[in-house]
């Protein structure tokens, strides 16, 4: 059996990087895969992010609405199985639980819930812990527990806390202390406990690239080392047990300084194991699970960002963006793990979550909806005297409008031609002036018909847009060139204003028709028609179309010139680092204090050991004092 832990730094991004969730899981090639920092809320759960063929998934999402914490953390455990609902494989858990305090709501009672309950308030190292504290540490989706029969697996995403952030330090302290109580309780019941995930703690100086002399004095590093067997605790650090003394073995790299390039990081992703082996008879105390069943444990360095030899070098994050997580996976291979009795998939599996499988609807809901629609249609028919504003008309699309428009024109043309043929058959001689009047009447009829149809279709499209949930404009819409859209009246007017070129060899003898056409042309020539941002003028019988966007074009040109000016000014003001003679990159102070918001410049190269001349030279320079005032 192979177990992998991987901080994906956004499950959606990793799925997109690999093309699908199944490809991501296949690339890790493990029976149990534990993801941290999925950054998925409950409403973000979908089939493409949580379900893959051959895997059962369990997720824990953040429940808090605090600023900066919503859709921030989250963990997920994927178990590879051969059967979807029933299996005897140890990879499919017998039970599963979201959270670790036992206080989160669950669909039904389970034994894994009843084995541990905390009664608050209680004290932990002179710190009083209340029910609110327990719910708070369990509301960020940082723990998922699965019971695999032979062992209980904790998928953990430990909180990060700066030394000067008292609130988060208290949160982190309570988080790990309550977890420790849960582990100790399970071990007292004779169970084996596996703890995997990103704990956000590097245990010793060997696990950090730039460890200071007092690095190991940190309270959380002391706490983690107290859990290890060599310090009297119950757990084995599996990687360090299998790779003692191995240096520069890191699992996390800062994305802000391109630390992957020179393997300049820290080891904060761990696999801890506590408990006896699976053998029924053992006489010595050395029969631990680690010694009898752990075959190998290592870091999957091939997943490190920019690992390929032809990858471009990091230059302050300006030109390229390395694809992948800022963590690398860690795996452990177990041997001699027997199967379990046939058991079913736990009820909190993703396949049973309503956000993924959909909310079940009864047949009554569909009948009710149909009756409402029919009632609405009848009301519209009875209340509105105009038949074109009924419910059916609202669903006419723009293509339907154009089709109906052609039908109206064809019917009108057919009516006009039928009238002319009837006049000829009756022996009446067609009058040129009368023929001109009939064509004008046809044009007026067509204009009126299309005007009515256009307004009606516009109302229908507007109603459809309001009812359509996908009608929100995307960012690309604002960068598209504006399109010239004409209404039916404007299209008719354009058609009437477009005069055919006369054949030079053709001599018109109908004086009255020529005079009326000339008058009509002169009448329209005195008007200026604006059609959707385009002006149409008639000069010497020709149609000239000119765009009417002088203000918008002027603003665009001004914005381009202003942006070029800013870029030129930035190039002139960016300092040069002293170590390499290259342009620096700008940063700003984000921590609270007197310098918050102040601009500074550093070397653009990736962070690395000080002995490496190709790494960051450590150049630092404050920006102008004005930038500090602007950020206040």
Average pLDDT estimate for 583-602: 86
37 annotated as a binding-site residue: yes
Q: What is the DSSP string of 502-570?
A: PPTT-----HHHHHHHHHHHHHHHT--EEETTEEEEEETTEEEEEE--HHHHHHHHHHHHHHHHHHHHH
Q: Which pLDDT score, from 0 to 100, does residue 471 have?
A: 56
- 250 pLDDT exceeds 90? yes
DSSP 8-state assignment for residue 368: H
Q: Is the dihedral of CA 370, 373, 377, 378 positive or negative?
A: positive
326 annotated as a binding-site residue: yes
pLDDT band, very low/low/confident/very high, at 200 (cuts 50, 70, 90): very high
Q: Give the pair of three-digit tokens for residue 422.
A: 């009837």
Q: Give the pair of three-digit tokens for residue 173.
A: 């302290």
pLDDT tens by residue, 426-442: 444 444 444 444 444 44
Residue in the block written with tokens 């992703």: 269
User: Regarding beta strands 32-36 and 2-7, do their DSSP bridges make them parallel or antiparallel, or are they unpaired?
Assistant: parallel
Q: Which pLDDT score, from 0 to 100, does residue 297 have?
A: 97
pLDDT tens by residue, 97-111: 999 887 775 544 444
Annotation marks residue 157 as catalytic: yes
Contacts of 521 (CB under 8 A, 6+ apart): 499, 538, 541
Residue in the block written with tokens 């009606």: 456
198 annotated as a binding-site residue: yes
In angstroms, the CA 338 to CA 392 distance is 65
* Residue 330 backbone phi and psi in degrees, to 5: -125, 140
In angstroms, the CA 494 to CA 544 distance is 11
pLDDT band, very low/low/confident/very high, at 27 (cuts 50, 70, 90): very high
pLDDT tens by residue, 291-341: 999 999 999 999 988 665 544 455 554 445 567 899 999 999 999 999 999
Top-confidence residue, 40 or 574: 40
468 annotated as a binding-site residue: no
Residue 140: exposed, middle, or buried by beta-carbon count in 10 A (0-12, 13-18, 19+)?
Answer: buried
Catalytic residue among 157, 264, 288, 331: 157
Q: Which pLDDT score, from 0 to 100, does residue 290 have?
A: 94
In angstroms, the CA 43 to CA 74 distance is 13
Q: What is the pTM of this model?
A: 0.65
Q: Quote the percentage of the chain above a pLDDT of 90.
A: 37
pLDDT tens by residue, 530-574: 434 444 444 444 444 444 555 667 777 888 888 887 777 666 678
How far the first Cα of the chain sits from its last, in Å, is: 55
Residue 50: exposed, middle, or buried by beta-carbon count in 10 A (0-12, 13-18, 19+)?
Answer: buried
Annotation marks residue 133 as catalytic: no
Annotation marks residue 198 as catalytic: yes
- 15 pLDDT exceeds 90? yes
In angstroms, the CA 66 to CA 140 distance is 10
Catalytic residue among 148, 270, 293, 327: 327
Contacts 24+ apart (CB under 8 A), 166-174: 170/127, 171/136, 171/137, 172/220, 173/127, 173/219, 173/220, 174/124, 174/127, 174/129, 174/133, 174/134, 174/137
How many DSSP H helices and E strands does the chain contain? Answer: 17, 22
Instruction: Catalogue all structural domains in the chain, each as residue range(s) with its CATH number.
Output: 2-307+320-352 (3.60.10.10), 571-622 (no CATH)
Catalytic residue among 198, 207, 269, 456: 198
Short-list 212, 144, 207, CA closest to 179: 144
Q: Which pLDDT score, from 0 to 100, does residue 557 have?
A: 82
């Amino acid at each position: 059996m192979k177990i992998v832990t991987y901080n994906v730094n956004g499950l959606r991004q990793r799925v997109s990087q690999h093309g699908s969730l199944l490809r991501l899981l296949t690339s890790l090639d493990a029976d149990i895969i534990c993801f941290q920092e999925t950054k998925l809320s409950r409403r973000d759960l979908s089939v493409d992010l949580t379900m893959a063929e051959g895997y059962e998934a369990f997720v824990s999402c953040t429940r808090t609405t605090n600023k900066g914490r919503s859709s921030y953390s989250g963990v997920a455990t994927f178990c590879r199985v051969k059967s979807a609902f029933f299996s005897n494989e140890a990879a499919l858990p017998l039970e599963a639980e979201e959270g670790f305090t036992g206080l989160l709501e669950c669909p039904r009672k389970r034994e894994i819930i009843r084995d541990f309950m905390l009664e608050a308030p209680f004290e932990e190292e002179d710190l009083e812990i209340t029910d609110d504290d327990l719910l708070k540490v369990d509301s960020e989706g940082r723990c998922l527990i699965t019971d695999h029969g032979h062992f209980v697996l904790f998928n953990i995403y430990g909180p990060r806390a700066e030394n000067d952030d008292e609130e988060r330090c208290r949160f982190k302290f309570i988080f790990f202390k309550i977890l420790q109580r849960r582990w100790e309780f399970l071990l007292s019941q004779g169970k084996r406990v596996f703890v995997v995930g990103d704990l956000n703690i590097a245990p010793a100086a060997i696990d950090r690239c730039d460890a200071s002399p007092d690095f190991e004095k940190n309270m959380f590093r002391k706490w983690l080392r107290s859990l290890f067997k060599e310090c009297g605790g119950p757990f084995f650090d599996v990687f360090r047990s299998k790779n003692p003394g191995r240096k520069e073995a890191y699992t996390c790299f800062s994305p802000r300084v391109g630390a992957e390039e020179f393997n300049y990081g820290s080891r904060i992703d761990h696999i801890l194991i506590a408990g006896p082996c699976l053998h029924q008879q053992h006489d010595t105390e050395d029969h631990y699970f680690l010694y009898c069943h752990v075959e190998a444990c290592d870091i999957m360095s091939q997943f490190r960002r920019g690992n390929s030899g032809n990858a471009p070098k990091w230059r302050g994050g300006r030109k390229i963006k390395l694809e992948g997580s800022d963590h690398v996976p860690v795996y452990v291979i177990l041997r001699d793990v027997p199967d379990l009795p046939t058991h079913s998939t736990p009820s909190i599996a993703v396949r049973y979550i309503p956000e993924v499988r959909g909310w079940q609807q009864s047949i009554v809901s569909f009948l009710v909806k149909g009756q409402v629609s029919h009632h609405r249609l009848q009301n519209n028919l009875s209340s509105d005297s105009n038949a074109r504003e009924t419910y059916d008309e609202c669903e006419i699309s723009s293509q339907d409008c154009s089709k109906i428009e052609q039908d109206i024109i064809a019917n009108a043309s057919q009516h006009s031609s039928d009238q002319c043929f009837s006049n000829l058959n009756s022996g009446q001689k067609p009058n040129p002036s009368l023929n001109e009047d009939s064509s004008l009447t046809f044009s007026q009829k067509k204009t009126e018909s299309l005007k009515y149809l256009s307004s009606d279709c516009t109302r229908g499209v507007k109603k459809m847009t309001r009812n359509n949930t996908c009608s929100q404009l995307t960012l690309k819409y604002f960068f598209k060139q504006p399109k010239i859209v004409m209404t039916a009246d404007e299209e008719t007017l354009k058609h009437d204003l477009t005069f055919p070129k006369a054949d030079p060899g053709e001599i018109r003898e109908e004086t009255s028709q020529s005079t009326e056409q000339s008058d009509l042309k002169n009448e329209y020539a005195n008007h200026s028609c604006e059609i959707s941002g385009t002006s149409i003028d008639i000069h010497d019988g020709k149609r000239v179309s000119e765009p009417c966007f002088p203000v918008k074009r002027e603003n665009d040109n001004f914005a381009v010139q202003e942006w070029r000016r800013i870029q030129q000014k930035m190039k002139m003001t960016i300092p040069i680092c002293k170590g390499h003679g290259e342009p620096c990159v700008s940063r700003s102070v984000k921590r609270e204090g007197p310098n918050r918001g102040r601009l500074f410049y550093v070397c653009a190269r990736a962070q690395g050991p000080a002995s490496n001349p190709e790494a960051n030279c450590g150049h630092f320079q404050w920006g102008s004092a004005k930038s500090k005032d602007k950020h206040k």
